[in-house]
Amino acid sequence: MWVFTVVVVLSLIAGGLKYTQITKDKNAEALYQAERTYLRPLDDAAFDTKYETEKEKNEAALKSLDTYVSKASGNDRAQGLIYKASCQMELGKMDEAEATYSELAKESGSYGAIGQIGLGDIYFGKKDYDKALGSYKKVLSNRDKALFDDFVKLRISVLYKEKGDLENAELELESLVQKYDSLEDSDKPPLYQDAKTLLEEIKGDGEKS
């Protein structure tokens, strides 16, 4: 699921500086083990326990994460909540994931922003576009977390397209494309091409109609 994948990547951006400290803490062994279980492929030879299915593997990870989150606090707990929500989404437990992201959204800084993005993605999946847009815009309103701006604007563009608001989708995409258009190709972020492709698609649809 693309939503889940990107949120996990964002969690690593937000938690990367914290990771070394976490793994040195004996009390965080549950988080480390859950991360390993969750992120490794099913056929990874490094597993101490062999899992027959992805579902079984993710359920084991979720059980470990539940234990960890119930005991952790601060940024360590927030990191655990990210993986917990992602596991829940992968297992199709969307209502539970929504509750977990709601907890995460209460955190300050990058963790709270990731919680809002996760909520937006869940609402988007339910086609509750107004609530999704509200969650995404909360991220944009936090000027301390401009790191997420382009990513969220691309999400919003896709949302506008899905609900048939091509005018606003085009405006959002044009601002993203123009921001990076003058850079060398090697310096353009991956989302530049995503935005450009979607913009061309929307303009093509407009010409046909």
Distance CA 105, CA 97 (A): 12
Which string of b and e fits 86-102 if b means at least 16 CB within 10 Å? bbbbbbebeebbbebbb
Least confident of 74-88, 89-103, 143-157: 143-157
Q: What is the pLDDT of residue 21?
A: 47
Question: What percentage of the chain exceeds 70 in pLDDT?
Answer: 79
Q: What is the pLDDT of residue 9?
A: 46
Least confident of 84-88, 113-117, 140-144: 140-144
Higher pLDDT, 1 or 178: 178
Q: What is the pLDDT of residue 18?
A: 47
Q: What is the pLDDT of residue 196?
A: 95
Tokens representing residue 146 in the block: 């401009």
Least confident of 26-35, 79-88, 159-168, 197-206: 26-35
For Cα atoms 91, 52, 47, give the angle at the middle one, nearest 5 degrees.
95
| Position 91 confidence tier, pLDDT thresholds 50, 70, 90 | very high
Higher pLDDT, 72 or 101: 101
Inform me whether the pLDDT recorded for 1 exceeds 60: no
Angle between the N-to-C axes of helices 109-125 and 74-90, in degrees from 0 to 180, rounded to the nearest 10:
20
Q: What is the pLDDT of residue 204?
A: 83
pLDDT tens column, 140-172:
987 666 678 899 999 999 999 999 999 999 999
| Position 54 confidence tier, pLDDT thresholds 50, 70, 90 | confident
Would you list the DSSP string of 115-168?
HHHHHHHHHHHTT-HHHHHHHHHHHHT-GGGGGGHHHHHHHHHHHHHHTT-HHH
Please provide the average confidence, as pLDDT, over all residues in the chain: 83
pLDDT tens column, 6-53:
454 445 444 443 444 444 455 567 777 777 777 777 777 666 677 789
Q: What is the pLDDT of residue 162?
A: 94
Q: What is the pLDDT of residue 198?
A: 95
